[in-house]
Amino acid sequence: MMMNIYRSEKNPIIKPENIRPFLSNFEVIGVFNCGVTKFNDEILLLLRVAEKPIGGSSDEILIPLLNSKTGSISIKVFDKNDPSIDFSDPRFLRSTREGCYLTSISHLRIARSKNGIDFNIDIKPALFPEKEYEESGIEDPRITCIDEKYYISYSAVSNITGITACLASTYDFRTFKKHGIIFMPDNKNVVIFPEKIKSKYYALSRPASGEFFVNDIWISESSDLIYWGNHKRLMGTRKRYWDSLRVGGGAVPFKVDEGWLEIYHGASEDGRYCIGAVLLDYNEPWKVIARSKEPVIEPEIDYELNGFFGGVVFTCGVLYEKGVVKIYYGAADTAIAYAEVRLSDILEKMEYQAGL
């Protein structure tokens, strides 16, 4: 039975051609995976903007890299004919000698809207790579508002340090403070709960075990959002489901009558990314109550099926209002789309069972 989804007729609501490149001699190849929050009387998105260097011969791949000492972006050139390098994935290359490099570099940029559909997009980044661990960019922000302070959890990528989970904060979305790495590599998809639960903050994250091929969602606790511990595995992949290969947190969880609702992503062996939901216990959020049997949103429409990396819907943020879940999501690692789903529809189609 299909979910009733309303996708905006204006989808994709933000496309690469709407974004002015920040770096000279770069093009914007993707604007996707945005965090969302309400700020003052507006809906604010924090966009992931991926830029790629223009130029190079047909035999070359140009890799953009931050030089953390100077703050400038340099270009490292790889030879497409080098047999020791795997170029099969458009998102990165793998060199047996030099490790992994992303083919684009992402920063975070603000977009503002009164109606949640038509956005004014800043010309300059809100957050830009600066540190050694951000050498290949900063990605996939989530925004959690706690006591009028906005916490931004994002992923940083670097050939030197791998994929790390980082934290920044702001009061005004004009000046930002970076708080460094909260989870060591490889870890991404951090979403921080919007309030303390029995005197502790909680966050979901997705550590990856390269040795054991595990890509599950974990839950961690903290007293101050900087120092984290008591890490527990929350939920894993499910064989023969839409989330059989990897799962990761999506939106900041929000309270519903039944518990915390977390809109997350799952990928299957064929590389298809879908959006689903998991319900967590209200007081003990490390307990799973129910989980979407089928995806809430799956890639079906042209802009979801085709793009820089097709067959992907991926959310970093939703708004929940009056029984409606308003989902901002990256489509095909290229553009941002918007959809609405009734909470009751999501809850009705979940599998309520323990020990998932």
Residue from the set 37, 106, 144, 164 that interacts with a second copy by CB under 8 A: 164
Q: Does 158 bind a second copy (CB under 8 A)?
A: yes
CB 339 within 8 A of CB 7: yes
**What does each C-alpha distance from 2 to 58, 295, 349 come to in angstroms?**
45, 9, 9
Please identify which residue in the block is written with the tokens 């101050």. Answer: 224
CB 53 within 8 A of CB 75: yes
Phi/psi of residue 134, nearest 5 degrees: -110, 15
Handedness of CA 143, 289, 268, 181 (dihedral sign): positive
Say which amino acid occupies 43: I
Contact residues for 305 (Cβ-Cβ < 8 A; gap 6+): 299, 311, 332
Query: In angstroms, what is the minimal distance from the CB of 50 to a second copy?
Result: 17
Within 13 Å and on the Cβ side, how many CA atoms surround 12? 27
Return d(Cα 138, Cα 115) in angstroms, integer: 27
Contact residues for 39 (Cβ-Cβ < 8 A; gap 6+): 112, 150, 173
Q: Which two tokens stand for residue 263?
A: 């809109």
Residue from the set 211, 257, 270, 322 that interacts with a second copy by CB under 8 A: 211
Say which amino acid occupies 282: Y
Handedness of CA 309, 313, 318, 321 (dihedral sign): positive
Residue from the set 104, 220, 268, 292 that interacts with a second copy by CB under 8 A: 220
For residues 77 to 106, the per-residue mask of contacts with a second copy, x marking binding by CB under 8 A and - elsewhere, is ----------------------xx------
Query: In angstroms, what is the minimal distance from the CB of 6 to a second copy?
Result: 36
Please identify which residue in the block is written with the tokens 């994002």. Answer: 154
Choose the binding region for a second copy from 28-36, 76-84, 175-183, 324-332 (rule: CB under 8 A): 175-183
Query: In angstroms, what is the minimal distance from the CB of 42 to a second copy?
Result: 32
Query: In angstroms, what is the minimal distance from the CB of 200 to a second copy?
Result: 10
Choose the binding region for a second copy from 26-34, 230-238, 290-298, 320-328 (rule: CB under 8 A): 230-238
**312 forms bridges with which residues in the sheet?**
273
Choose the binding region for a second copy from 33-41, 75-83, 189-197, 220-228 (rule: CB under 8 A): 220-228
Query: In angstroms, what is the minimal distance from the CB of 205 to a second copy?
Result: 7
Query: In angstroms, what is the minimal distance from the CB of 338 to a second copy?
Result: 30
Query: In angstroms, what is the minimal distance from the CB of 306 to a second copy?
Result: 25
Residue 347: strand, helix, or coil: helix
Residue from the set 71, 210, 271, 323 that interacts with a second copy by CB under 8 A: 210
Q: Does 137 bind a second copy (CB under 8 A)?
A: no
Q: Does 230 bind a second copy (CB under 8 A)?
A: yes
Distance of CA 232 to the CA centre of its chain: 21
Query: In angstroms, what is the minimal distance from the CB of 198 to a second copy?
Result: 15
Q: How many residues bind a second copy (CB under 8 A)?
A: 43
| Positions in 290-329 near a second copy (CB under 8 A) | none
Residue from the set 38, 91, 124, 232 that interacts with a second copy by CB under 8 A: 232
Query: In angstroms, what is the minimal distance from the CB of 222 to a second copy?
Result: 6
Q: Does 236 bind a second copy (CB under 8 A)?
A: yes
Q: Which residues bind to a second copy, rule: CB under 8 A?
A: 99-100, 132-133, 158-164, 180-187, 205, 207-214, 216, 218, 220-223, 226-233, 236
